[in-house]
Structure 1
């Protein structure tokens, strides 16, 4: 009895060990069955390509077999010079419909031994010119006369407006201007001075006179001289102009301290100041915060 019990317990252990393996096999086999449609799709596409190829070969063989009869029809005077006859000529090797008439008639003048033939322009060129003229007329009427469509400038402005709506209006949104007021407390300006000396002086000079970066002590600004514009420039930087973004290196309060310190330097006229750059604005200290 005990031996039977041991045998049953051993069989149960084997089943428990095999069961996860069977489950994993079933799970891994499911994607294989799910991926069955793609081979069927490729088979249908291959059959379609094969049918088209066979149809093309039959058509080419039929045209080659009927070419003498088509040539006789093409040579008829009532067919040869018609537009449909020129289309038929493409099937028998005459490309007048594409290349035009080649008369090889010399004009009665030459220059430096160079003679000019009196041949027609290729029909494909004439058709293309006519289509271009029609397109230009439709474009002019639609965009400039009726003004139903947007020109490039208006289309660009509309796309930029749509893109701005898709950007989140959080504190990290460069399109959302802050509403800070410039700090005036001596302790805040002192902190801003220390931060400026450590991070900004290498490019703008110890006294903000301008080195690689612009002079920050005059009335001219490249990206706005109000405290919130200066804050935005420091936080997000200026792509392609060498001004890096400091939002990951300075806190919001530190950026405001630096911005306020920069505005406190207005009109200090340091030595060796860099020439003005940008647009002239009223002294930033008199501007109200937005």
Structure 2
């Protein structure tokens, strides 16, 4: 029986290690939380190491406990068979360790009642304890849920929670030029060099859909006064930069720089009123002509 003291000593050592590891784990978590997003890789590695150590300690304690139960099963069986132990709650818990699942399964009496219908007999058996305990747990949960969300209104229902999350998400949206919901405040470029660069970029990237002269092919005509997504310089800039999802207009963000997009936008506005041959029919809504820009 020297195994039992050794197992107990091993279990005590593991428990002591767990108690020592918990403060260190808490300190590591606080360090990571205090540094915020700029937490160092070393602190993160230390945190994961301590979490892994704690998980390993818990696993070893479970294995040692299972080994101890297996080794002491004959003694536990004799203890369980005592008349003063078996009927008690602790005795039923002990029964699980020795293979008696009465605590979970319940007792089956198989006593027939006097009900007999169409050859069907009814036994007088209680519901399994595991089922009853689960049912009681759902009642407690329902009372807590009703009290928390409906009576005290301490928690948010789905609709309110969704609205709050959307409001928080709106605060995280960038307010700079990369925000597709915010228009820029650029003015159209008028320098000949900028318009020449814009024409070159237009010919390379835009002409396959809009035509060499902006007369429109797959894409709309860019020389008339009608616009699908706005004809002001910043609306044109936004359309080119972010594209139009589901309409064939790709986003040029990341392919062209901000200055190049502004050059193309300015060149597109310089095409206003040029009336090229074979121009496509108007699309969109009519807008007042933009401020004139230099023509090439």
TM-score by length of 2: 0.49
Computing the radius of gyration over CA atoms, which structure comes out larger, 1 or 2?
Answer: 1
